[in-house]
Amino acid sequence: MSFFITGTGSAIPGLCVPNDALSGFLDTNDEWIRTRTGIRQRNILTSESLLDLAERSAIEALSLSKCSPLSIDMIICSTLHGDFFTPSMSCLLSKRLGINCRHMLDINMGCSGFIFALELAAAYFDSKRVKRVLIVCAEAMSRLVDWEDRSTCVLFGDGAGAVILEEGEGLIDLACSIDGEYENLNIPGIEGNSPFSQKRDTMPYLNMNGQEIYKFAVSAIINDITSMLEKNAIPPDDVAYYFLHQANIRIIESARHKLKQPEEKFPCNIESCGNTSSATIPILLDEVNRQGKIKKGDVLLLSAFGSGLTSAVALLRWN
Ligand code: UT7
């Protein structure tokens, strides 16, 4: 027993920041960002909280699935960092939505968080502890990057994506992997002001070796996808849509060419949203779902990679 996705939702902040707006305070330009990444703009939090975005995306997903908040048995929130260290985002969200369920938790699995959340949910479905699960991936990347570092801050945006899962046979297979390598992609924690600790020379901003992550991403995505398809005897042509983590259009295109698939099977919104970490796949899924493009019985492949280093892949059948 596992799940079907029965509702999707998404929310992005009101402020849209085009590439040109960044060259006002950074040594960068629209052409570099567009050609190296595919990004034209991103949305950034101003007066809204991250919880506001999480709530909006969850309400949309609940409404599309036509289920009451009271029927939700579990909330999983994926975030690198919510509005608070504690309480968790899932606790705060349950209060906002009036959900009083026994199972709720936050996970921090970087950009692969949505697929790790699906895996966790599958275990709860399989042990018959839940019938309906709400997953919300909400990320405020604008708070975590160094706005003086042009090699990272131009890549990210803020946003939230949500899904409702209900009992069903929609999960074909899923695989997650972690290698523990952290030096090429990390965000150090805060140091605090303990008079007893030795000060480290780190700032709580995202550090990334872009070229190393690029190489990891291309090989992880293609290995994950080909082994998942082979294991389940599904030819690449039989997948209706490939939903890949939106980090760089060149990474997505490289996977698409290796799989010899047409452009329309690889939906993309990196141009308008940038990289919203674990929220990229659920936001994109919501966009494509609302366009009515996904049909009952369609096979969807989801693939992500991120800090950990992690990579994760899921094969789903749409209800
Ligand atoms: O979900 C999180 C995972 N993160 C990723 O997936 C990131 C994966 N990596 C990438 O997407 C790419 O490596 C980047 C987009 C980050 C960088 O692209 P690149 O083609 O690997 O560029 P590069 O790092 O080799 O930099 C090329 C040049 C450098 O200048 P020099 O040394 O050639 O003079 C950089 O200093 O581009 C320069 N540069 C910039 N120039 C204008 C770096 N950032 C910028 C910028 N604007 N924003």
169, 187, 220: which is the final residue of a domain?
Answer: 169
Establish whether 257 is a catalytic residue. Answer: no
Series of mean pLDDT values for 10-residue runs along the chain (319 residues): 94 98 97 98 98 98 96 98 97 96 96 98 97 98 98 98 97 96 94 86 91 97 98 98 98 98 98 98 98 97 98 97
Cβ pair 77, 93 in contact under 8 A: yes
Say yes or no: CB of residue 151 within 6 Å of ligand 1.
Answer: yes
Tell me: do 149 and 6 sit in the same domain: yes
The whole-angstrom separation of Cα 19 and Cα 44 is 13
Say yes or no: CB of residue 11 within 6 Å of ligand 1.
Answer: no
Establish whether 223 is a catalytic residue. Answer: no
For residue 4, give the nearest of 71, 65, 79 by alpha carbon. 65
Residue with CA nearest ligand 1 atom 11: 248
Who contacts 47 (Cβ-Cβ below 8 Å, separation ≥6)? none
pLDDT value for 200 = 78
Tell me: do 17 and 119 sit in the same domain: yes
Count the domains in the chain.
Answer: 2
pLDDT value for 202 = 81
Specify which residues 135 forms β-bridges with: 76, 163
Tell me: do 181 and 156 sit in the same domain: no
The whole-angstrom separation of Cα 143 and Cα 12 is 15
Domain harbouring 305, CATH code: 3.40.47.10
Tell me: do 6 and 57 sit in the same domain: yes
Establish whether 111 is a catalytic residue. Answer: yes
Who contacts 160 (Cβ-Cβ below 8 Å, separation ≥6)? 10, 11, 12, 50, 53, 54, 56, 57, 136, 137, 138, 139, 279, 283
The sign one gets for the Cα dihedral 12, 75, 281, 165 is negative
Q: What is the DSSP letter of 311?
A: E
169, 197, 225: which is the final residue of a domain?
Answer: 169
Which residue segment(s) compose the domain that 198 sits in?
174-317
Judged on CB neighbours under 10 Å (0-12, 13-18, 19+), 162 is buried
Residue with CA nearest ligand 1 atom 42: 28
152, 169, 186: which is the final residue of a domain?
Answer: 169
Tell me: do 48 and 88 sit in the same domain: yes
Tell me: do 241 and 135 sit in the same domain: no
pLDDT value for 191 = 86
The sign one gets for the Cα dihedral 61, 66, 68, 72 is negative
Say yes or no: CB of residue 217 within 6 Å of ligand 1.
Answer: yes
Say yes or no: CB of residue 90 within 6 Å of ligand 1.
Answer: no
pLDDT value for 37 = 98
Tell me: do 234 and 278 sit in the same domain: yes
Tell me: do 183 and 153 sit in the same domain: no
Say yes or no: CB of residue 36 within 6 Å of ligand 1.
Answer: yes
For helices 50-65 and 280-290, give the axis angle rounded to 10 degrees: 40
Closest atom of ligand 1 relative to the 248 alpha carbon? 11
Say yes or no: CB of residue 209 within 6 Å of ligand 1.
Answer: no
- Of 67, 77, 101, 111, catalytic: 111
Q: What is the DSSP letter of 48?
A: S
Tell me: do 31 and 153 sit in the same domain: yes
Ligand 1 centre to CA of 163 (Å) is 32
Cβ pair 168, 316 in contact under 8 A: no
Tell me: do 228 and 208 sit in the same domain: yes
Tell me: do 67 and 98 sit in the same domain: yes
Tell me: do 142 and 209 sit in the same domain: no
